[in-house]
Chain A
């Protein structure tokens, strides 16, 4: 464990808790893409199946349980409890165009052709594009609530911090996972224009409005 990975995990946890808190407090999931949350729940389920087979540490297991539980709790809030506030008309990104290519790529480009490894690879590829429906929704509505932009900032920062973690681990531990690194770069790059808007607007107290 290193400071980059720890702050990355905490940033990830913060993002997930901000989202749950926003929906619960405002009793509304307006501006939130349910489709992205479906993809995240798929990512965690596919990636954390090893939760019961190989124990890494208490921290690792506890975080995996929290991420899976929070992902499904968010889906419940969006599609059951507050479904009247779900923005069905704007949340229209075709996620099958993300799921199929990621599944195909995971079958072709992986470290080892076993069930767990292919599912892990699928989750890595899927996570790198899982935010697209959410960014698409924000671009369609042209704005995002401030709390939603904080959620996106924390979520985008987590994988950026993981990139630093991989640089650190490469030099100090000789750890190198090209699949995770390339997908992590793609994932972080997708947030760049959002990061720019967040830094130039939200930090200065203005609402996140995309230039029309």
Chain B
């Protein structure tokens, strides 16, 4: 599985 992308953008 892809690395979890952290949602730090608006």
Binding site for B on A (CB under 8 A): 5, 9, 12, 50, 54, 56-57, 60, 63-64, 67, 111-112, 120, 162, 165, 175, 177, 180
Q: How far is the CB of A166 from chain B (nearest CB, A)?
A: 9
Contacts of B9 in A (CB 8 A): 5, 162, 165, 180
Q: How many A-B residue pairs have CB under 8 A?
A: 24
A12 to B9, CA, bound (A): 13
The answer to whether A50 touches B7, judged by C-beta atoms less than 8 angstroms apart, is yes
Task: Tell me whether chain B's interface is mostly helix, strand or loop, or mixed.
Answer: loop
Chain B, residue nearest A66 (CB): B10
- Residues of B contacting A112 with CB < 8 Å? 1, 4
Specify which chain B residues have a CB less than 8 angstroms from the CB of A180 in the assembled complex.
9
24 contacts between A and B (CB under 8 A): A5-B9, A9-B10, A12-B10, A50-B7, A54-B7, A56-B6, A56-B7, A56-B8, A57-B8, A60-B8, A60-B10, A63-B10, A64-B10, A67-B10, A111-B2, A111-B5, A112-B1, A112-B4, A120-B7, A162-B9, A165-B9, A175-B5, A177-B5, A180-B9
Task: Kindly list chain A residues whose C-beta atoms are within 8 Å of the C-beta of B6.
Answer: 56
Measured CA separation A50–B4 after assembly (Å): 15
Quick one: closest A residue to B1, CB to CB? A112
- B1 contacts across to A, CB distance below 8 A: 112
